[in-house]
Amino acid sequence: MMETVEGATGDRWFAEVAAPADVRLIEALSDQAVCWAIERRFGEVKEVLAAGATPPRLRMRGELYEILEFLAAAAATGRHHLFEDYIQWLRDVFGSRMRKDDGLPAMLRLLHDFFGQRLGPMSAEPVTRLISAGISIADGAVTRLPQPPVFPAPLAGADELARCLVAGNIGGARAMVRRLDAGGLGYVQIATRLFQPALYAVGQLWQRNEITVAQEHLASAIAQTILTQMFIRDDFLPRRDDKALFACVSGNSHALGLRLVCDAFELKGWSVQFVGSSVPAEALIAHIDSWRPQLVCLSASLVPQLPELRRLVAEIRATFGGRRPAVIVGGLATNEIASIWEWIGADEWFPDAEAASARGG
Q: What percentage of the chain exceeds 90 in pLDDT? A: 55
Return phi, psi of residue 329, to 5°.
-120, 155
**Contact in structure between 14 and 81 (CB atoms under 8 Å):** yes
**Band of pLDDT at residue 98, cut at 50, 70 and 90:** low
Task: Inform me whether the pLDDT recorded for 285 exceeds 80.
Answer: yes
- Number of Cβ within 10 Å of residue 322's Cβ equals 5
Q: CB-based contacts of 104: which residues, under 8 Å, 6+ apart? A: 87, 90, 91, 94, 138
Task: Inform me whether the pLDDT recorded for 79 exceeds 90.
Answer: no
pTM for this entry: 0.80
Q: What is the mean pLDDT of the chain?
A: 86
DSSP string computed for 31-65: HHHHHHHHHHHHS-SGGGGSTT--HHHHHHHHHHH
pLDDT in tens, 105-161: 999 999 999 999 998 777 788 899 999 999 999 998 888 876 667 777 888 899 999
Range with lowest mean pLDDT among 154-168, 200-214, 274-288, 321-335: 200-214
Task: Inform me whether the pLDDT recorded for 237 exceeds 80.
Answer: yes
Q: What was the pLDDT predicted at 238?
A: 94
